[in-house]
Amino acid sequence: MSIVKKMLLKIKLKSEHLILSSFFLLGLILGLIGLELIVPGSYWNFKYQLESGFNSDNIQSIILPKAGNIVSDNISRLLPISQIAQKLTVTKKNTLIAAEYISPGIVPVKQSITPVSIQPVISQALNICKDANCMYYPIDKTYVLSPNYIPAIINTGLPGGNKLSPVAVGPLSELFAAAHKVGLNPIIYSGYRSYSEQSALFNSIVNQNIAKGYNQQQAIQLANYHSALPGHSEHQLGLAADVGCVGCSYLDQTSSSNNTVWQFLQANAHKYGFVISYPINSEALTGYMYEPWHIRYIGVNLATELYNEGYLTGNGKYLSQFLILKKLYT
């Protein structure tokens, strides 16, 4: 490079540095006197800290005061660089959650924050089980159980505990015994869940999604892919269980030990009357993610019939469709 080109490059770099430094200084001065300087494409990551022992998953949103045309309505929102967040503290007193936000030129405010609580309305468009025993009812996005549906349940006495319908406990015990014979150690992660328990679980997942930055609609849609709305869960039947391996992380699909147990379920569950409700490559049909751990009891004959139809291969057949066609309910 020639001496002239080197000199021109040095002058250019110094000029750019001077311009950027001046621009930043101007923004800082305007910020201190409470004026907005919005730099397109430049953002300051919104920072917050939580009081010790407080779970951030319970936060729905933090409403900040408007500053010009800027307002933050979610804890994950990025703020313009000119609106530097100096302090944001979150406190919890009983059930009240309050947030305090302090920024140059803006009067601190406190806002109450209420976690989202989804209360689905059972409309006439949904099919509600009218039987005293809904054992063969096709629970899915449109076939639901009443909030008042409470089956008879007993302790399973199996690793993980939990409760299930008496008709399912014996067969599940036999399934576990068969697994033990081949060196596996299955455990029940989750069994019977009441309508209210499912509601609490679903709302918890929604609020976790919101805390990750999703808006409420997105949070609900994502939750309803991984979990069921209350009334739409097979766990309320007392016939469904989530199964994994002893000592494994709950529903950890990267665990080889979990996967070995789930492979055993796919190959053997039907022999004891269980089916995998949400098989592989059926997400677009069931509306739920693939859940190799989730099994439901429908009896040996029906479970074997569905197994022989090849539903575990992702051929488009799945449990709720199968039960709708069988129509063993009123």
Query: In this structure, are residues 236 and 193 in contact, taking their beta carbons and an 8 Å threshold?
Result: yes
At 251, is the pLDDT very low, low, confident or very high (cuts 50, 70, 90)? confident
Contacts of 209 (CB under 8 A, 6+ apart): 218, 219, 222, 223
What does the alpha-carbon distance between residue 10 and residue 312 come to, in Å, rounded to a whole number?
Answer: 67
Same-domain status, 251 and 150:
yes
Same-domain status, 47 and 143:
no
Same-domain status, 74 and 206:
no
Please list the active-site residues.
291
Same-domain status, 22 and 85:
yes
Structural domain includes residue 121:
no
Q: Which two tokens stand for residue 297?
A: 């009891």
Report the SS3 class of residue 19: helix
Domain that holds residue 81: 1-115
Structural domain includes residue 18:
yes
At 125, is the pLDDT very low, low, confident or very high (cuts 50, 70, 90)? low
Structural domain includes residue 181:
yes
The number of folded domains in the chain is 2
- From the CB of residue 98, how many other CB atoms can be counted at a distance below 10 Å? 15
Same-domain status, 91 and 161:
no
Domain final residue, candidates 115, 136, 166: 115
Domain final residue, candidates 115, 135, 155: 115
Same-domain status, 82 and 197:
no
Amino acid 141 reads: K
Structural domain includes residue 107:
yes
Query: In this structure, are residues 265 and 292 in contact, taking their beta carbons and an 8 Å threshold?
Result: yes
What does the alpha-carbon distance between residue 138 and residue 323 come to, in Å, rounded to a whole number?
Answer: 5
Same-domain status, 91 and 214:
no
Structural domain includes residue 301:
yes
List the beta bridge partners of residue 88. Answer: 101
Please state which of the ranges 115-124, 141-150, 184-193, 281-290 shows the lowest mean pLDDT.
115-124
Same-domain status, 180 and 283:
yes
Structural domain includes residue 206:
yes
Q: What's this model's pTM, rounded to 2 decimal places?
A: 0.66
* Structure confidence at residue 314 (pLDDT): 94
Q: Comparing C-alpha atoms, which of 69, 82, 72, 79 is closest to residue 35?
A: 82
User: Tokens 């949904």 belong to which residue?
Assistant: 126
Same-domain status, 60 and 188:
no
Same-domain status, 96 and 133:
no
Query: In this structure, are residues 59 and 113 in contact, taking their beta carbons and an 8 Å threshold?
Result: yes
Residue range 266-306, pLDDT digits in tens: 999 999 999 999 999 999 999 999 999 999 999 999 999 99
Q: Buried (b) or exposed (e) across 197-208, using 16+ Cβ within 10 A?
A: ebbebbbbbbbb
Residue range 24-47, pLDDT digits in tens: 444 433 333 333 332 222 222 233
* CA 123 centroid distance within chain: 24
Residue range 185-234, pLDDT digits in tens: 999 999 999 999 999 999 999 999 999 999 999 999 999 999 999 999 99
Structural domain includes residue 122:
no
Same-domain status, 308 and 185:
yes
* Structure confidence at residue 120 (pLDDT): 62
Same-domain status, 309 and 225:
yes
Cα Dmax for the chain: 93
Structural domain includes residue 138:
yes
Query: In this structure, are residues 265 and 295 in contact, taking their beta carbons and an 8 Å threshold?
Result: yes
